[in-house]
Chains A and B, each alone.
Chain A
Amino acid sequence: MKNPDAIVIGAGILGACSALSLTNAGFKVLIIDRGTVASGTTGAGEGNILVSDKDPGPELTLALRSRDLWFELQEDVGDSFELEAKGGVVVARSDDSQLLALARSQSAHGVVTEKLDSKRLHELEPYLHPELSSGVFYPQDAQCQPMLAAARIIQSVIARGGQLVTRSKVLGFKTENDAMSSVLTSTGEYSAPIVINAAGTWAGEIASLAGSHLPVAPRRGFILVTEPAPQYIFHKVYDSEYVVNVASSDADLQTSTVVEGTRSGTILIGASRERVGFDSTMNYEIVRKLAAQATSLFPILRDVQLLRVYRGFRPYAPDHLPLIGEDYRVKGLWHSAGHEGAGIGLAPGSAALITDTILGRPSFMDPAAFSPKRFAEVLQ
């Protein structure tokens, strides 16, 4: 492609959404990826589009808007990535006061919640352990098949005049007076005044190549995949500890239960979180822990066979907020990364924020909370 208006680095979900958002705003977009479509964290996730696990604040505002944008995206590119508003059921394992307090504050900020007594909880999830008696239902929680979503969105970008170059590794940047001028890659040099860094867990490396800094680090997670089973699980079901762990900054291993069925009949079980760098060594104790937690919620899963385990690296920022906005040093370099485990859910909203900011038009929220500039002083 000669002279694109913008280059997106990363063909994961954030890159895909950014590319489509810019394309729809009239930009000619080139997407490059050192691997292929969805070959990083997008290809290692469950496809969560959640509002239930977010405390009131800027991230919840972004999540709510993103969730609606997902359904608009489905209109735009077609019903082709298994988007489903399946709803989330959060179960209190013992004391439910923290969970109910969170639900109350969330509902004051636009999240639809329904407090579940024992009867209603077991109506929604009949195979839950009979002793579990309290929970909250979040009908807005949704799910998609993230790899397909990225691929279908990129397919639309290409159909609308964009281009995708895979196996193209960024080697460096050319800037003029601290403004972006071109990207040097293993497949050649591409010039554009606007570059979106959507390299996910590897976004920090990209920023370094531009002489800037972005504090994104990996937070490893394992997901268990079972054999196809009859439908035992009807929503995205997790325990209330999940919300606590998502927000935690602890480097040590944390596990909490997330269980859900998929269209192919397999059951996905998460979620572990630990900061061990890009170490992909298998840890069978984590596998056991996740299995134990899932079967304690759903005893019927005891007889279901584990087939596969996969590992992924969530892009994690020190304050758990994504990094969305222009670089603090290089003009024309925009970041959309660091969404940790919520990248799928937050992608369309993040893309809209960037496009709106680039065009100088008002957006659905003030993006200041996500600005990468918030780390500039610490880093300099």
Chain B
Amino acid sequence: MIAVIGAGPAGLAAAMTVAQNNEQVVVIDSAPRPGGQYWRHLRKVEGYKSGRSDKYFRALEESKKIIYIRGAQIWSAVQSENAITLNYLAAGIESSITVAKVILATGAHDRALPFTGWERPGVMTPGAAQALLKGHNVIAGQKILITGTGPFLLPVAVGLAAAGAQVAGIIEAHSPLRWLRSPVALLLNPQKSIELIYYIRKIYQYKLKVSFNRAVIAYDGRAASIATVDTELRIKETVSKIDCDVIAAGWGFTPDVTLGGILGCQQVVDRDGTVIFAVDRDQRSSATNIWIAGEATGIGGADLALVEGRIAALSALGLAIPARLRLARYRLQKFATALQVSYPVGNGWQGWIALESKICRCEEVSLGEICASVSELSANDARTSKLFTRAGMGMCQGRICSRNVSEIIAKQTQCEVTEQERIGYSNRPISAPISLGALANGIK
């Protein structure tokens, strides 16, 4: 049997492909509903092609070939000679399943950058604002300011506006003119231009204010301070204040590579500094019988994830991969590269934060404490600084702050963050918390 981990676009496409070829597949997903981060609809949410998930959701419910395990957190996995055992928790009970092949489609979460006041209530990621809306039918606040960089800000803003939220503006850090650097990617992906036109029309329809080359650099609980920034995100000057009670700030995405890391799949650092898996042209990882699709092989969005999911499934089934799928992936990968070129996240954000601002919110470690671990305690890499300050040691295990801490230390010590360090902070031996009682019950 094949196991697909994750029920986002990549996982759903993989599972449906396996099922359509009359093979048994088990889908294990951590959320109570399918769709992953991007497709978590409770009801139809306004957005480009937002109905295209329906057929996948239906297959999940109706196909006899798909076993769907929802709300299950895989906390560990072990590969033996011909099988892979996945240990997961569902409703506090531990179970395990042993399969012949695994397709990992573990997705990504928003990258958050600290700014002065980001610890305040109301500051969240666009993904969180979207999850509240799509998953729980909740509008995050009275006046929502959307900021960060990348086209993902648009569907979040439009979805919120369509649901009746007051959107205080979209503050994009880069200029859309940067797309002119990637003419080939645009020509290869005409449907992306159609999608963009769809969102531009929606922006007019809902009278959303969009500004470019700006970022939210501080929040006092009532108003966000907006500054113009250069391409490295360094502040040029503070220009205005915008009243809001929610700031949804997103700076690209961080792939979730934990489980593949536990299974020994080889990782590399992408050009945007994210740690991703190295896969071959059939989405095969370096580990035997493990394929990987979607954001964990490079941030590229739902369209690319769907194609990769299908390729991974066909390869896992030992079937031929049609040339048109490979071509589609090629086009979309070009577009993904153009995204990285158009919306880079430079290091200038380090100039937004006050010394007392918390960098690690779980353990409440401030920028000042991290700097002191370098200047006073001779820490010269992030691991050591984290041991001294406890940054990244809390509930989220550094999923939010690790990269930021490493980049702060690198700047303090005038080094670059090494590839080894990036891979180090992206991995952990336990991929989800598990109670000691459940662990004890699982003794062989």
Which A residues form the contact surface with B (CB < 8 A)?
35-39, 43, 147-148, 151-152, 154-155, 158, 164, 166-167, 224-228, 264, 266, 269, 282, 284-285, 287-289, 291-292, 294-296, 301-310
Question: A228–B397 Cα gap in the complex (Å)?
Answer: 12
Given A264-B363, A292-B443: A39 in contact with B377 (beta carbons within 8 A) = no
Most-contacted residue by chain B among A37, A39, A264 (CB, 10 A)? A37
Say yes or no: A148 contacts B430, CB within 8 Å.
no
Out of A288, A302, A305, which one reaches B433, CB within 8 Å?
A305
Say yes or no: B87 contacts A284, CB within 8 Å.
yes
CB distance from A95 to the nearest CB of B (A): 23
Say yes or no: A282 contacts B429, CB within 8 Å.
yes
B280 within 8 Å of A (CB atoms) = no
**Chain B contact residues: over half helix, strand or loop, or mixed?**
loop
Say yes or no: B437 contacts A295, CB within 8 Å.
yes
Say yes or no: A148 contacts B388, CB within 8 Å.
yes
- Residues of B close to A282: CB separation below 8 A: 76, 262, 429
Say yes or no: B439 contacts A287, CB within 8 Å.
yes
Within 8 A of A (CB), among B355-388: 363, 376-381, 383-384, 387-388
Question: A301–B436 Cα gap in the complex (Å)?
Answer: 7
Say yes or no: A289 contacts B433, CB within 8 Å.
no
- Residues of B close to A37: CB separation below 8 A: 377-379, 384
Given A155-B377, A284-B78: A147 in contact with B429 (beta carbons within 8 A) = no
Say yes or no: A289 contacts B387, CB within 8 Å.
no
B444 within 8 Å of A (CB atoms) = yes
CB distance from B234 to the nearest CB of A (A): 29
Q: List 19 A-B contacts (CB under 8 A).
A: A37-B384, A38-B384, A39-B384, A147-B388, A152-B377, A154-B378, A155-B376, A224-B436, A284-B87, A287-B430, A291-B440, A295-B436, A302-B436, A302-B440, A303-B435, A304-B435, A306-B433, A308-B430, A309-B430
Given A227-B395, A288-B442: A306 in contact with B384 (beta carbons within 8 A) = no
B69 within 8 Å of A (CB atoms) = no
- Residues of A close to B380: CB separation below 8 A: 36, 166-167
Question: A286–B56 Cα gap in the complex (Å)?
Answer: 40
- Residues of B close to A151: CB separation below 8 A: 377-379, 388
CB distance from A165 to the nearest CB of B (A): 10
Question: A284–B87 Cα gap in the complex (Å)?
Answer: 10
Out of A36, A152, A167, A305, which one reaches B379, CB within 8 Å?
A36
B143 within 8 Å of A (CB atoms) = no
- Residues of B close to A289: CB separation below 8 A: 443
Question: A289–B379 Cα gap in the complex (Å)?
Answer: 34
Out of B76, B377, B428, which one reaches A308, CB within 8 Å?
B428
Question: A292–B443 Cα gap in the complex (Å)?
Answer: 8
B434 within 8 Å of A (CB atoms) = yes
B70 within 8 Å of A (CB atoms) = no
CB distance from A65 to the nearest CB of B (A): 27
Question: A307–B436 Cα gap in the complex (Å)?
Answer: 10
Say yes or no: A302 contacts B384, CB within 8 Å.
no
- Residues of A close to B377: CB separation below 8 A: 37, 148, 151-152, 155
Given A36-B384, A147-B384: A306 in contact with B378 (beta carbons within 8 A) = no
Contact string, B61-78, partner A, CB cutoff 8 A, digits 1/0? 000000000000000101
Question: A310–B387 Cα gap in the complex (Å)?
Answer: 12
- Residues of A close to B76: CB separation below 8 A: 282, 284
Q: Given contacts A305-B436, A308-B430, could you give 17 more A-B pairs where the C-beta distance is less than 8 Å?
A: A36-B379, A37-B384, A38-B387, A39-B383, A166-B378, A226-B436, A284-B76, A288-B439, A288-B443, A294-B436, A295-B440, A302-B440, A305-B434, A305-B435, A307-B433, A308-B397, A308-B428
- Residues of A close to B87: CB separation below 8 A: 284
Question: A147–B389 Cα gap in the complex (Å)?
Answer: 10
Contact string, B150-168, partner A, CB cutoff 8 A, digits 1/0? 0000000000000000000
Residue on A with the closest CB to B396? A307
Within 8 A of A (CB), among B400-444: 428-430, 433-437, 439-440, 442-444
- Residues of B close to A227: CB separation below 8 A: 395, 433
- The 7 A-B residue pairs with the shortest CB-CB distance, nearest first, are A302-B437, A291-B439, A292-B440, A151-B377, A305-B433, A291-B436, A147-B387
Question: A307–B396 Cα gap in the complex (Å)?
Answer: 9
Most-contacted residue by chain B among A266, A296, A306, A310 (CB, 10 A)? A306
B326 within 8 Å of A (CB atoms) = no
